[in-house]
């Protein structure tokens, strides 16, 4: 079903908008209803954290380390304390005993405790941007002025900036090698697999450090009740999101307060993507300052500090070896990964490298697997999750490896994948690995169908000579090294434009680099071979719907309107609308009149939050259960009132409960008495696994190294879709972020550990002219059997395969897919150097020589 | 530096007389002095476009203008777009096309696009992408925003 294909600018995504809806059960789920969040955000009436204003509010700013690694000799705040408007300067000396380590949220492990970060550096700083003191003043400007006068005397220590080479110094004296953790995943007999191999293909791959960078920076407003510090009243904190209940527990423990005296409230949130909402040093410092001063304190992060303070992600190096038999079947995969963790372990502990290790085998059958991840500390910003954490990286590395294998075996890229994809009859498929302490068992999906559809959708096979007819693995097997490349048409790279006969997606004038001029001439004609074109694809599986539970509280207010509250969070993704659709179907009323509340710890006793593509899966099913049971109670009450059996009643438009024989009453009448209220917690022991195939077509300007993504296709299956328009937004937004991580974004450091990406001039986010047309289609075949709604998460599907597809497309364009190493992001500088090192398309002989690896 | 200066400015048709510090940015003036918090601040260095407002009709970045610079001028912000209960056709198109998610960048896109559509009532996709290339959105991937602006152009031409 092609409901999700979105030809550019001609989308059919507005089905059902604003119809006066004669609602019946199941009418809302599956429809692109308008989002309930939209009107307030379109009018500028949303309430983001910096819009929260409390009388008497003070303003805080953080003094941060300008050095990567140093001992703090002294902090002199004399001058700062004399600054106009200053209220307080809180350093490690002032906060002393309150500075407990921030605990790990996911998969705690006591071996990690000694690498945790405290809210302020005590006697040593370990990255540029590490908080050293908090300055509180009567205005933000005054706080910033005073912060500049805080004199910190640093004694420099040798900085560690490369996780892969021998460290010049330990970050923690108790760990000389800076190895915080070693993660291992394995199944099958890997030595036997490699011993049996007809061919072994290796690849070194690197993904660059980058991060979520939501458009709204972080911020908090901590408001103590009068006398809160003396044990009277409560503390309210505006601005937390994502995991408010967990963060409340952490704050309570760090303050030594009972949880019930703390309320965290999520306002409108300007994007999160995994990084925002975790418990950071400021999440302690700001409430702590408010309590000490007995005044409300606001802290709004600026963009410069955001880039060095929020969790970074993605910096991994892979050494991969794939063993194949003579038919191109994967026998075994060996992986050595180094994950640059940054200076401390934060709330994610070692979850990100663990996800890479558990998901690297992806959607492919293989008999044996062995992966080892070294989690290494460096003097850089600590790391955590960012949309498809661990998978953007491992999918890119694996898919690039498979393209290299295809090139070297002579089996077509699509064909090689097709031979190895897990087939639908193998579902549920036990992967043999584990993530987040849970065994990986794919629940449903037709991976070969997704690949076939993606190829058809993108014209992948037609446009790129995929394999030499008749050339299989056996054709190349005669080579002693096993590294003979597939024969490629000589003309391909020389007149590469001809290799992609598909009409260009958009020859945008704004992009300036288009191959054809408006006068019909070709830039390429002037400089033959300047532009090269390529396509690449990547198959992936996505974990979604992480447990253990999420809750929903549902009740009818006195007007008969349905109110639903949950512990999950909305960081902009449209959770309110999705839950209202599910709730509306469950009760039988229109979604527009439903109030969905979230992210406030006072709403519901237990909450887990929004991460790991779990909101719709976990909160959605909780809402479904709670409201379904509420409906039963409503009908029972109506049945008693109207004197008809509950089974003869229906809830219809306008909140009218109608029975047979014309008898009816309103929901408001039924809700006049207490009792129409329900709380349900949905538990799920196993995750739901979405999957997809991403295809990229790129144009490479060999003169400048600029890679222009011309079009992205994505074929996906996310189970049952609640709101196709919202899913489309998740897909397209994820793809755009993937483009950023593949081509533009990198958080860079120099050799001294100085941070080089502290502004949007230095850290390039993709804009309207960097993101191409994205064509996507929902395969729609595989609802999850693991929850009543059949839904799977969709939030990370868009980004998961982009890195691999783009890396493969660039290698295809440069006709160097056999190269032994590759990396992301493919910035113009890197691509330009790559072209210079390898200026002409390789002859098969040269490729064979270059492709022969030391084993 | 802290000597206050008089600023008289018309914002969304209302005249304000305020005394401000010379270093106060226009964005902070709108948000914190006037309480018009629909204008958002995403980078404070003129790159992201979230803070875009109209100054005498022209789309400008309020984070890199000082409030004292707009003395005697006319400012329009996102709060002035809708006509009472009725959203502006551009706002309607944004909602119809899924052109906003978290909504943080949205006011900047709206104010940029509205100025663009006044100058270019019949744009094509390339022109829209070019016009919006100075604004960043981290949620949508832009496709829906471009579609919404093109759709709004059509609605505005039909006098919607």
Residue A23 has a pLDDT of 39
From-to residues of CATH 3.90.1170.50 in chain A? 49-157+212-309
Across A235-239, A477-481, A613-617, least confident range? A477-481
CB contact under 8 A, B130 and A510: yes
Res A484 pLDDT > 50: no
Residue intervals of chain A classified under CATH 3.30.365.10 are 316-424+438-544+687-849, 546-683
Tell me if A759 and B43 make a contact (CB, 8 A cut-off).
yes
Mutate to test the interface with B, among A215, A504, A599, A796 (most CBs of B within 10 A): A215
Residue A509: closest C-alpha in chain B: B126
Residue range A829-846: mean pLDDT, rounded: 73
pLDDT over 90 at A1, yes or no? no
| Measured distance CA(A343)–CA(A350) in Å, rounded | 13
The C-alpha atoms of residue A162 and residue A160 are separated, in whole angstroms, by: 6
If one compares A11 and A393, the residue with the highest pLDDT of the two is A393
**Pairwise CB contact (< 8 Å): A728 & B133:** no
Nearest neighbour of B106 by CB, restricted to A42, A51, A728 = A42
Q: Are A219 and A49 in contact (CB under 8 A)?
A: yes
- Burial group, residue A613, by CB count within 10 angstroms (0-12, 13-18, 19+): buried
Q: Which CATH fold topology does A49-157+212-309 show?
A: Aldehyde Oxidoreductase; domain 3 (3.90.1170)
Interface with chain B: mutation pick from A38, A272, A774, highest number of B CBs within 10 Å: A38
Please indicate whether residue A31 or residue A24 has the higher confidence score (pLDDT). A31
Quote the crossing angle between the two packed helices A281-293 and A244-255, to the nearest 10°.
50
- Cβ(A174)–Cβ(A114) below 8 Å: yes
Subunit contact A48:B50, Cβ cutoff 8 A: no
Distance of residue A32 Cα from the nearest chain B Cα, in angstroms: 9
pLDDT score of A523 more than 60: no
pLDDT for A438 equals: 94
Contacts of B153 in chain A (CB under 8 A): none
Domains present along chain B, CATH in parentheses: 5-80 (3.10.20.30), 89-157 (1.10.150.120)
Q: What is the pLDDT of residue A359?
A: 98
- On the question of pLDDT at A127 being above 60, the answer is yes
pTM of the model: 0.91
**What distance in Å separates residue A518's CA from the closest CA in chain B?**
13
Q: Which fold has domain A546-683?
A: Aldehyde Oxidoreductase; domain 4 (3.30.365)
pLDDT of A621 higher than 90? yes
Residue A482 has pLDDT above 60, yes or no: no
Is the pLDDT score of A223 beyond 50? yes
CB-defined contacts A:B, below 8 A: 209
Cis before residue A599, ω within 30 degrees of 0?
A: no
Contact A271 B102 (CB under 8 A): yes
Q: Are strands A199-207 and A821-824 parallel, antiparallel or unpaired?
A: parallel
The three-state DSSP-derived secondary structure of A545-596 is CCCCEEEEEEEECCCCCEEEEECCCCCCCCHHHHHHHHHHHHHCCCHHHCEE
Burial class (CB in 10 A: 0-12, 13-18, 19+), A505: middle
Taking Cα atoms as reference points, which of A190, A171, A187, A188 lies closest to residue A179? Answer: A171
Q: Look at B138 and A798 and tell me if their CB atoms are within 8 Å.
A: no
Which of A124, A3, A120, A20 is CA-nearest to residue A63?
A: A120
Name the region of A362 (left: φ>0; alpha: ψ -120 to 50; beta: rest): left
Could you give the CA distance from residue A575 to residue A756 in angstroms, rounded to a whole number?
36
Q: Which of B82, B105, B142 sits opposite A215 (nearest CB)?
A: B105
Task: Supply the CATH classification number for the domain A316-424+438-544+687-849.
Answer: 3.30.365.10
For residue A261, give the DSSP letter. G
CB within 8 Å: A9 and B78? no
pLDDT in tens, A380-432: 999 999 999 999 999 999 999 999 999 999 999 999 999 999 999 999 999 99
A430-451 pLDDT tens trace: 999 999 999 999 999 999 999 9
Residues of B in contact with A8 (CB under 8 A): 125, 143, 147
- Reported as a pLDDT band with limits 50, 70 and 90, residue A186 is very high
- Verify whether the Cβ–Cβ distance A215 to B48 is below 8 Å: yes
């Amino acid at each position: 079903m092609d409901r999700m294909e979105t030809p550019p600018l001609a989308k059919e995504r507005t089905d059902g908008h604003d119809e006066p809806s004669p609602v019946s059960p199941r009418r809302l789920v599956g429809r692109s209803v308008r989002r309930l969040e939209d009107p307030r955000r379109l009018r500028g009436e949303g309430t983001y954290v910096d819009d929260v204003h409390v009388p008497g509010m003070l303003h805080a700013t953080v003094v941060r380390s300008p050095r990567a690694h140093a001992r703090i000799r002294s902090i002199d705040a004399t001058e700062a304390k004399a600054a106009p408007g200053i209220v307080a300067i809180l350093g490690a000396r002032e906060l002393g005993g309150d500075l407990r380590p921030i605990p790990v949220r996911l998969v705690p492990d006591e071996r990690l405790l000694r690498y945790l970060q405290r809210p302020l550096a005590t006697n040593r700083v370990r990255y540029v941007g590490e908080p050293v003191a908090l300055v509180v003043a009567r205005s933000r400007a005054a706080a910033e002025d005073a912060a500049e006068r805080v004199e910190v005397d640093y004694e420099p220590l040798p900085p560690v900036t490369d996780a892969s080479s021998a460290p010049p110094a330990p970050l923690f004296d108790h760990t000389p090698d800076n190895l915080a953790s070693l993660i291992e995943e394995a199944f099958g007999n890997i030595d036997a697999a490699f011993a049996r191999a007809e061919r072994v293909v290796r690849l070194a791959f690197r993904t660059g450090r980058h991060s979520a960078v939501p458009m709204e920076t972080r911020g908090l407003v901590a408001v103590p009740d009068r006398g809160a510090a003396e044990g009277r009243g409560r503390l309210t904190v505006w601005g937390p999101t994502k995991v408010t209940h967990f963060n409340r527990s952490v704050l309570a423990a760090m303050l030594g307060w009972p949880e019930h005296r703390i309320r965290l409230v999520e306002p409108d949130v300007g994007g999160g993507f995994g990084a925002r909402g975790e418990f950071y040093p400021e999440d302690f410092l700001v409430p702590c300052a408010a309590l000490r001063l007995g005044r409300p304190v606001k802290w709004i992060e600026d963009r410069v500090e955001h880039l060095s303070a929020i969790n970074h992600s993605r910096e991994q190096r892979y050494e991969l070896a794939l063993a194949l038999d003579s038919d191109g079947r994967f026998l075994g995969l060996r992986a050595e990964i180094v994950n640059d963790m940054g200076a401390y372990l934060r709330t994610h502990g070692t979850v990100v490298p663990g996800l890479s290790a558990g998901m690297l085998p992806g959607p492919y059958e293989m008999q044996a697997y062995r992966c080892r991840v070294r989690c290494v500390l460096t003097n850089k910003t600590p790391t955590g999750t960012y949309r498809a954490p661990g998978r953007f990286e491992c999918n890119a590395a694996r898919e690039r490896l498979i393209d290299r294998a295809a090139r070297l075996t002579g089996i077509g890229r699509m064909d090689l994948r097709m031979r190895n994809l897990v087939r639908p009859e193998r579902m549920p498929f036990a992967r043999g690995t584990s993530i987040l302490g849970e065994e990986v068992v794919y629940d449903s999906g037709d991976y070969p169908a997704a690949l076939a559809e993606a190829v058809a959708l993108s014209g992948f096979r037609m446009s790129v000579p995929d394999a030499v007819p008749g050339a299989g693995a056996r054709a190349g097997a005669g080579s002693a090294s096993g590294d003979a490349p597939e024969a490629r048409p000589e003309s391909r790279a020389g007149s590469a434009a001809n290799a992609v006969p598909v009409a260009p997606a958009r020859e945008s004038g704004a992009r300036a680099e288009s191959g054809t001029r408006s006068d019909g001439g070709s830039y390429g004609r002037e400089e033959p071979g300047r532009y090269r074109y390529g396509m690449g694809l990547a198959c992936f599986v996505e974990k979604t719907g992480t447990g253990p539970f999420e809750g929903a509280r549902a009740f009818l207010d006195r007007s008969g309107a349905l109110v639903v509250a949950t512990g999950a969070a909305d960081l902009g993704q449209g959770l309110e609308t999705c839950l209202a659709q599910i709730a509306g179907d469950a009760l039988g009323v229109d979604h527009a009149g439903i109030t969905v509340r979230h992210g406030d710890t006072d709403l519901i006793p237990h909450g887990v939050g929004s991460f790991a593509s779990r909101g719709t899966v976990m909160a959605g099913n909780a809402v479904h259960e709670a409201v379904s049971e509420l409906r039963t109670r409503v009908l029972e009450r109506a049945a008693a009132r109207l004197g008809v059996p509950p089974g003869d009643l229906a809830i219809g438009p306008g909140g009218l409960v109608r029975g047979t024989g014309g008898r009816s009453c309103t929901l408001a009448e039924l809700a006049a008495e207490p009792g129409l209220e329900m709380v349900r917690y949905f538990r799920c022991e196993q995750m739901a696994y979405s999957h997809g195939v991403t295809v990229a077509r790129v144009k490479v300007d060999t003169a400048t190294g600029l890679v222009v993504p011309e079009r992205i296709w994505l074929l996906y299956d996310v189970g049952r879709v609640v709101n196709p328009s919202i899913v489309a937004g998740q897909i397209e937004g994820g793809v755009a972020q993937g483009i950023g991580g593949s081509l533009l974004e990198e958080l860079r450091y120099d050799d001294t550990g100085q941070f080089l990406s502290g502004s949007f001039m230095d850290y390039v986010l993709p804009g309207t002219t960097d993101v191409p047309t994205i064509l996507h289609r929902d395969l729609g075949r595989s609802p999850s059997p693991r929850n009543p709604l059949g839904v799977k998460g969709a939030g990370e599907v868009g980004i998961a395969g982009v890195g691999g597809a783009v890396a493969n497309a660039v290698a295809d364009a440069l006709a160097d897919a056999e190269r032994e190493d590759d990396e992301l992001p493919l910035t113009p500088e890197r691509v330009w150097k790559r072209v210079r090192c390898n200026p002409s398309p390789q002859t098969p002989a040269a490729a064979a020589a270059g492709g022969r690896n030391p084993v | 530096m802290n000597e206050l200066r008089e600023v008289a400015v018309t914002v969304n048709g209302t005249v304000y007389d305020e005394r401000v510090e010379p270093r106060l940015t226009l964005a902070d003036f709108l948000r914190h002095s006037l309480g018009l918090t629909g204008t958002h601040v995403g980078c404070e260095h003129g790159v992201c476009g979230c803070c875009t407002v109209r100054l005498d009709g022209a789309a400008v970045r309020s984070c890199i203008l000082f409030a004292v610079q707009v003395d005697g001028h006319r400012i329009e912000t996102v709060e002035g777009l809708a006509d009472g209960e009725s959203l502006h056709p551009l706002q309607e198109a944004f909602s119809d096309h899924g052109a906003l998610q978290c909504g943080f960048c949205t006011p900047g896109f709206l104010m940029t696009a509205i100025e663009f559509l006044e100058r270019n009532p019949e744009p094509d996709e390339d022109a829209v992408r070019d016009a919006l290339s100075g604004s960043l959105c981290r949620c949508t991937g832009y496709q829906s925003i471009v579609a919404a602006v093109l759709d709004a152009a059509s609605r505005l031409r039909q006098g919607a």
